[in-house]
Every structure is written in structure tokens, then in C-alpha cells.
Copies of this chain bind each other. A is one copy, B any other.
Amino acid sequence: MADNRAQKLHTVHFEPDNINIDVEPGANLMETAVAAGVHINASCGGAGVCGTCNVLIKKGRVESTRTDKVSVKDYQKGVRQSCQSRVVSNLVVEIPLESRLEKVVLDKEQTEIVTQMPAVLAAGWQFNPPARKLYLELPPPTLEDNASDLSRLLRGLRQQYCLENISVDFEVVIGLAKVLRSAGWRVTATILSDGDSGIRLINVEPGDTMARSYSLAFDIGTTAVRGQLLDLNRGRVLAQAVDYNRQISYGADVISRIAWAQKSGGLRRLKRAVVDTINDLVADLSRQAGVAPDEIAHVVVAANTVMVQLLLGLDPRYLRLSPYVPAASALPLIPASSVGIKLAKHAQLFAMPSVASYVGGDIVAGILGSGIYQRETVTLYIDIGTNGEIVIGNSDWMMTAACSAGPTFEGGGVKHGMIATTGAIEGFEIDPATLEPRLTTIGDARPRGICGSGLINIAAALLKAGVIGQNGKLNTDLASKRIRKGADGYEYLLARADETEIGKDIVITEIDINNLIRSKAAMYAGCQTLVKSVGSKCGIVEQVIIAGTFGSKINIENAIGIGLLPDLPRDKFVFIGNGSLLGARLTSFSRDLLSDSQRVAAMMTNVELSESASFMENYVAALFLPHTNAGEFPSVRLG
């Protein structure tokens, strides 16, 4: 019988990962790759319009229709859009360089996080983790004292730790009699404080295990998921790991994900994809730290609202429709196992509270971790990305806005755009005389494309050298073979085919620059609108915190040069790195900060930019390099 079934399935072999998977005939090839844990780019979420998920069929046959995303020549070679292909035989599939997501950069980042100390940090909190283990030596019952097992345990917590009014999870009662007796009445209780409300008894285990008390902090991003395993006794990061969010194959941005969730079974698949990602990270972290998953009692998740809702299986459709309403800003604790995370039954998941549909728990975590809400210093907090998030304020007030900058900063909407991985052009200089470029790439590899920070650096240099004008148009009067007309209009040649890894010329087009201008305009106009909403000007800003993994790679001078960041004294800028993960970690370390998280979310006033007339004005005014109003950028001098 097993044989019969096996004969009906097709085996798909992915190269260069060398991963096999058996699937039903007719399975979608992109989803097959997702199921196998093979990362394929799919910016558009499988709609067939972006052409980033192309693969090469080396053996076997798929059913597929050729679109204009695959040239006739490539089609004849066996190139197919994986999202548009169905498996109809055993296959050998190669994921070409352009379609692959590599872990090299993420792995590099991993070591970076460890050594990096944030320049700004929440202060004044005590190290008192919400999840605590408490060792108890209970007197065995006698005829004079035959209180119930649970009463005895609660009495022990009262007498030995002064804890009253503890609510009890029924799961604890189920195994209690056995645990107490097998352990000779010496047990370790795990309790969990839920912010300002009560204390819950979530687990009892034999013996003294107080020394082994752990939690997890996660930053669940649209592109990548970052996790840390924390020691709740010493307040230390024991291990960290990062991987692409497997949802990436269902679209690069939250809008595609929301659209995918509307398909039949879509929500379930997106949930599965991120849960699988988390489970792989949990296994990795456990292994690294030598901690069993059963020893982890608490999981703190910082994520944008869409990611939270997808993780919990909450339909995200209303996040996208005006008036943009999330399911819940503050969520109750949820058993991690009920979400599908492979931890002990008693482990509880806490999602950082959110402010609005596009201002999520990730940004609240960042504000919490950076301590902006504790200081009088008026601070501008910017997390640049597809969904840019901006906060301005101090301990008295806080305004926030999300601006849809588009995927430009992550390589989307750019002819040779790519995410910041091996071979992405990052550094760029130009010889003012010859107009010849000098490139540096991530991993010092042969160039494969341009990442977001590279794009900023290229645009700033081209602008300064006069290769592009303030309107973003190429100066075709210049005498350089690098400036030429291509298939998509005017372009600047960054690298010739024979210099690249992909065997094609890598160029930056006027369209690319135009997209960048729109993205940076959105971010800048967002900052401006937010500052103006409190009746002020950018001058009131005393500190600028640049958050996010992407943000930490930005060259401030170049970002100001193209008008992405406000023209403030450079010493006001600080990088905080992954503020979301920082906030999640600190929340796992401190009940004080856990309580603060609700307060921070509540004190943030959201400004809905997409509905703001003033934002539209600011946006249009910012569609220029660096800005139509030169007075906004006094320090920027063009060549």
C-alpha cells in the first residue's frame, strides 16, 4: 500500500541545496520549494507578474505558460516561473542565482548582533523576568495536614516567596500528584506575570531546576525572522539565529501577504510558513545553547501587525482596508504550542502590543527598548523599510506614522534590485573626471544586483557628480559610454556582463531612480508630516535614532544627500540596530518593561498618512533630489 502511494507522488530535487521532496501531481512548484524549505524570491507573492522566482528545469516536465517574464530563448533552455508551474513528473530543478535567497548575509549579521551594544537604551528597570522558576521544599502531607496537593503548593509559594492570589492553569493540576510524590515534595514551580494583572502558575516540575530558566525573544519581520534564546537567571543572550521568513515566497511585502491570505487555505499556509520558520530557529537556538525546548517558558514576539495576525491565524484583511483596523492591539497570553510552536505545553507567547494596522508591536518594542518614552529629549525614531515606521516624541507625548515606502529599499521595483545578500552592490564611488564607477559588493563577490543601501549610495554619488539631475533624470549630454539608452529607457552601466556573476550587464535606470525618489519622498514626507502635526519643524528634533537591520547599513551623509533623512547635524544621529528584538529581549527580562509596553502603545498617537492631505503635499514637494525646497537641506551642496 505504501508503495502504491509512493508511485503516485513525484520527487522534486532542488539544486544547489540538494533537497528532495515528494509531492502530489499538479503541485505548484513555488509552493513545493516553500514546503521543502528552499528559499525562492517571489516579490509579487506568486501572482506571476514580477519574474523574480524563475527556475531552471534540468530534468523532468512541468506544466507552465510562458509570460513576458521569461524570454523565448530562456524558455527553450528550460527556464520557468516557479509560481506559474505545476509538477507533472519527477524533477530536477535548479534555483538560479538571481532567484535565490542566501543565508550568508544573515549569518554574518548574526555575529554582528552579539557584539553590538545599542547607543541608546531604556533605563531604570529592574531585572525581574515575567517568567520565573521557584524552587519549593514542601512538607509531605500528614493526617494533621492533609490539604490538597494544589493547596500545599500554593501555600509553599505564599510562605516561601510571599506570592498571593495566584491563578492556576488546569494543566498544572493534571500531573501534580505524580510530580510532587515522585520528586519527594521538592519541586520547581514556573510562574508568569502578565503585566499589571495577576500571577499564573503555569508549570511544576520535579527537583530544583531554578538554574535552568529560559525564554525566547523574536523579531518577526516581513523578510527575516530573528530570534534569541535568553538566560533568565543571568539576563544574557545565550544564542541567536536568523532566517528568511518562509512567507517570503508568498510576496515580498505585507500587502501581497494580506492578498494571499484571502485565497482559499491562504491564511493557513502563511501561518504555517512563519511557524515553520520559527520552529527551525527554535531548534537551532536550542542546539546552540544546549537548552531543551521544554526549559523555555516564555516567548516574546515583536512584529508588525500583519505578521502578528498571520502568526496567530487572524485574518488580516481589515488591516488593509480603510479605516485600517487591527484585530487587537493588546493580545492575551497564548500557549505557544497552540500556535504550532514546538515548545512545552506551558510555554506562553506574549505579542508586543501594537498601535495601529501599520504601527505594530515591532515599533512599540523599539520605542520601549530605546527608552525614548523615558526621556525629555525630543527624539525622531525611524525604521526605514518597505513599511517605514516613524515615531517622534519624548516622555510626555509621542506621535507615530507608518509610511508605505514601497519595496525599493529591499530591492523591489528596481531592475537589478535585490535584497542585501551576497553579490549585492553596496558601496559606490564615481570618478568625477571619467565618470567610471568603483563598486564594492556584499561578501566581496562578483556583482549580482543592487541592494537598498547600495541604491542610496549610487544615487547620491550620481547626483553629486551631476550624472543625474535633481529631477532624477540622467544627464545624457555627458560624454560617457556608461550613460546609454537601454530596453527600459536611459540607464547608467554599473557593471558589464563579463564582470558580473549573472552574466548580464547590471545597470541603474531612470525608472529605478524614480522609484527611489518616490520611496525616499514617502519617508521624508512622513517625518515632516509627523513633526508638523505637533505644530513644529524638524529643528525641534534633538536626536534621531535609526533602527532596523537595513537602517544600520545606511550611509547617513548619502541618505541626507538624496533627501531621505532630514538635514540635521550628523552627531544627532545614532543607530540602534534591531530595536524590535532589543525591546522584545528587555521585555522578557523585566516585568517593569512588560508593564511599560502597554503604556507606551497607549501613549502613541497614530497619524494615518494615507488619509492626510498635508502628507500628500509634503510628498509631492519631496519628489526631487534632495527636495524642491533647498532650504530644507542647507548642508547639501551639489556639484
Mark A residues whose CB is within 8 Å of B. Answer: 141-143, 145-152, 165, 167-170, 173-174, 176-178, 181, 197-198, 312-315, 317-318, 322-332, 334, 338, 354, 356-357, 606, 608, 611
Cβ-neighbour of A329 out of B150, B332, B356 (below 8 A): B150
Cβ-neighbour of A177 out of B168, B327, B334 (below 8 A): B327
Query: What are 15 residue pairs bridging A and B, where the CB atoms are less than 8 Å apart in the complex?
Result: A141-B325, A142-B323, A143-B608, A143-B611, A146-B356, A149-B325, A151-B328, A151-B330, A152-B325, A165-B197, A167-B197, A174-B312, A174-B313, A177-B315, A177-B317
A357 closest partner in B (C-beta) = B146
Specify which chain B residues have a CB less than 8 angstroms from the CB of A322 in the assembled complex. 143
How many Å from the CB of A343 to the closest CB on chain B?
A: 16
Specify which chain B residues have a CB less than 8 angstroms from the CB of A323 in the assembled complex. 141-143, 145-146
18 new A-B contacts, CB < 8 A, other than A150-B328, A152-B325, are A143-B322, A146-B324, A146-B606, A148-B325, A148-B329, A148-B354, A149-B325, A150-B329, A150-B330, A165-B197, A168-B328, A170-B331, A173-B327, A173-B332, A174-B312, A174-B314, A176-B328, A198-B198
- On whether the beta carbons of A332 and B170 are closer than 8 Å, the reply is yes
Specify which chain B residues have a CB less than 8 angstroms from the CB of A611 in the assembled complex. 143
Given known A-B contacts A151-B328, A328-B151, A314 and B173 have beta carbons under 8 A apart:
yes
Given known A-B contacts A315-B177, A315-B178, A332-B170, A327 and B150 have beta carbons under 8 A apart:
yes
Q: CA separation between A28 and B181, bound complex, in Å?
A: 34
Q: CA separation between A314 and B322, bound complex, in Å?
A: 50
Each complex incorporates copies of this chain amounting to 2
Specify which chain B residues have a CB less than 8 angstroms from the CB of A168 in the assembled complex. 328, 332
Specify which chain B residues have a CB less than 8 angstroms from the CB of A315 in the assembled complex. 177-178
Q: CA separation between A311 and B197, bound complex, in Å?
A: 31
Specify which chain B residues have a CB less than 8 angstroms from the CB of A174 in the assembled complex. 312-314
- On whether the beta carbons of A328 and B141 are closer than 8 Å, the reply is no
Q: CA separation between A152 and B149, bound complex, in Å?
A: 41
- On whether the beta carbons of B142 and A329 are closer than 8 Å, the reply is no
How many Å from the CB of A173 to the closest CB on chain B?
A: 5
Specify which chain B residues have a CB less than 8 angstroms from the CB of A146 in the assembled complex. 323-325, 356-357, 606, 608
Specify which chain B residues have a CB less than 8 angstroms from the CB of A357 in the assembled complex. 146
Specify which chain B residues have a CB less than 8 angstroms from the CB of A324 in the assembled complex. 143, 146
Specify which chain B residues have a CB less than 8 angstroms from the CB of A338 in the assembled complex. 170
A181 closest partner in B (C-beta) = B318
Q: Closest 3 interchain pairs by CB?
A: A150-B328, A146-B323, A148-B326
How many Å from the CB of A373 to the closest CB on chain B?
A: 20
Specify which chain B residues have a CB less than 8 angstroms from the CB of A142 in the assembled complex. 323
Task: Give the one of A197, A198, A317, A328 with max B CB within 10 A.
Answer: A328
